[in-house]
Amino acid sequence: MSSNKKMLELLNDLTEIGIALSAEKDINLFFQMVLNAAIKFSNSDAGTIYTLSEDKKSLDFKIICTLSKDLHLGMADTIKWPSVPLYNNQDEKIYKNFATYVAHTKKACKVADAYEQDIFDNSGTKSYDSNNNYRSTSMAAIPMMDHENELLGVIQLINAMDDEGNIVSYTNEHLSTLNSLASQAAIALTNKHLIKDLENLLLQFNKSIAAAIDRKSKYTGGHITRVANLSQMIAEHIQDDKGVFNDVTFSDDELQELNIAGWMHDVGKITTPIYIRDKAKKLETIFDRIELVMTRFELIEILIKQDIQFEQNDQKQVELQDELTKLLDSREFINKVNTGGEFMSEDKLPLIEDIFNYSYKSNGKKYRLITEDEKKNLSIRKGTLLPEEIEKMHDHALVTHEMLSQLSYPKKFKNIPLYAASHHEKLNGKGYPFQKTADELPLQSRILAVADLFEALTASDRPYKKGKTMTETLKIMAFMVKDGEIDKTLVEFLMDSELYLQYAKQYLNPEQIDDVDIDKIKDIFN
């Protein structure tokens, strides 16, 4: 083959390997590809790739190959191999190993015979040869450098051979070709590191924002963390499922996409007024107005007692005493109603109306107990929020979508806004913010919705309710399945896989973890 034709073929090979390296996502296959190319270009029998450790103090084995021994060790095999130190205890550079010598000098190097040279200490090479019935003769090592001339790793090759299989020395042409390969590998590896670092930065930033949102509320701290972790637990268990989700697989990118969506699902709450988010009692705004209302009760109580004391008419005294008793009962009732709770019955509303209409006249002045706005808040049937406050709370899902849609996510993370904003959607189209139906909600959205619901029901840090037991939680979810609101398959999977119990042991109070009759709960929707 002519030298020109050989050079053209080499350039084509280098171009193809460069394209392939840039496209390869699996880092183990990436290193295997680099080493295979290096062995091919130099016609070597063996080779090793080292990468610089995170602390930059040593070289870590990544992949090893010896063709004559049919030895192929990937990252999973070499992970337990001891790293090669670059510095001694005095932080002085170690040059005695061939790979460390090249790492420190940052220059490609070759030796004709590893046993007859004075560049590095060959005792380690001889020991390896002796233990493996091998003879390392010619050697070459090439540093992989990034765009800032910082070391990424070292490619080391052993025993170059001619066309007849005889061991020969590495040539300057070998080093030139291998330098080109190392340069392409370094560029591809640097890009992978940069992409990974950016993805890590994105996730860390998302977690930081989520933590800030959780800390904004004195009651719901940890909610986002728990929802994100439960979503991840469900997705990972689905990966391993051999039953109903046997045909479902999530790529690493898809798992990461769901993870980020979990961390960002409540980012819209950054615009929700804190007095609404933390409205622990019905009368609470910037402060709990129950204290103001109780002061009014106490004032009228004092006035009635004074009037009883100075009243000469026995019948009038009895009437005043009855009025005082009624006042004290009303005060106890208002205190209880103010706490919210699960549901207030219809027959309580007239009592609130009576208290609103009540007034006591003393010394020509009329005293009242509650205002129109206080009556309105005390009449809330369920929870502590007014309809307009609930609507404002619901806005956070839409704001989440708007905020996340403004970000330029990588294509592989394009669904983050949809997944994150869908955690309050229902399969029957009665959720929010977009009233999406079942066919519009992918599995990831459904997972996040189930995780958010399960966390909300079991959370013990809410101001207006106690965390529910496992039985209570799963029973509520079963009725929601029956009503077509959440995914039946996911809820059954949560129960059958005992993920609910795994989560409970990690996050719930012991008294919430009761014995659950799963079959009885399933009867609700089956």
- The pLDDT score that the predictor gives to residue 4 is 45
Query: What percent of the chain is predicted at pLDDT more than 70?
Result: 93
pLDDT attached to residue 12: 61
pLDDT of residue 294: 94
In the beta sheet, which residues pair with residue 284?
288
Tokens of 106: 């940052």
pLDDT at 31: 79
- pLDDT in the model for residue 276: 85
* 481-487: long-range contacts, CB 8 A cutoff, minimum separation 24: 481/524, 481/525, 482/524, 482/525, 483/428, 484/426, 484/427, 484/428, 485/426, 485/427, 485/428, 485/430, 485/431, 486/426, 486/427, 486/446, 486/449, 486/450, 486/453, 487/427, 487/446, 487/449, 487/450
- pLDDT at residue 458, rounded to an integer: 93
Q: What's the token pair of residue 403?
A: 């905020």
Contacts of 489 (CB under 8 A, 6+ apart): 244, 245
Q: What is the mean pLDDT of each run of 10 residues along the chain (526 residues)?
A: 47 60 68 85 92 92 91 79 92 91 94 92 89 93 88 93 92 87 79 75 78 69 88 94 91 92 91 84 86 94 91 88 94 90 85 94 91 94 89 93 88 93 96 96 97 92 75 96 96 95 94 94 93
The rounded distance, in Å, linking the Cα atoms of 143 and 182 is: 7
Helix (H, G, I), strand (E, B) or coil at 363: coil
Query: What are the two backbone dihedrals, phi and then psi, of residue 377, each rounded to the nearest 5 degrees?
Result: -70, -40
245 touches 238 (CB < 8 A): yes
pLDDT at residue 5, rounded to an integer:
52
| Sequence-distant (≥ 6) Cβ neighbours of residue 307 within 8 angstroms | 320, 362
φ and ψ at residue 231, rounded to 5 degrees: -60, -45
Per-residue confidence (pLDDT) for residue 1, from 0 to 100 = 43
86 and 93 in contact (C-beta within 8 Å)? yes
Q: List C-alpha distances in Å: 3 to 9, 40, 42, 171, 306.
A: 10, 17, 16, 15, 117
pLDDT value at residue 324: 93
Spatial distance between the Cα atoms of 321 and 300, rounded to a whole number of angstroms: 13
For residue 480, what pLDDT is reported? 96
Query: Tens digit of pLDDT for each residue in 469-502?
Result: 999 999 999 999 999 999 999 999 999 999 999 9
DSSP annotation string for 293-343? HHHHHHHHHHHHHHHHHH---HHHHHHHHHHHHHHHHHHHHHHHHHT--S-
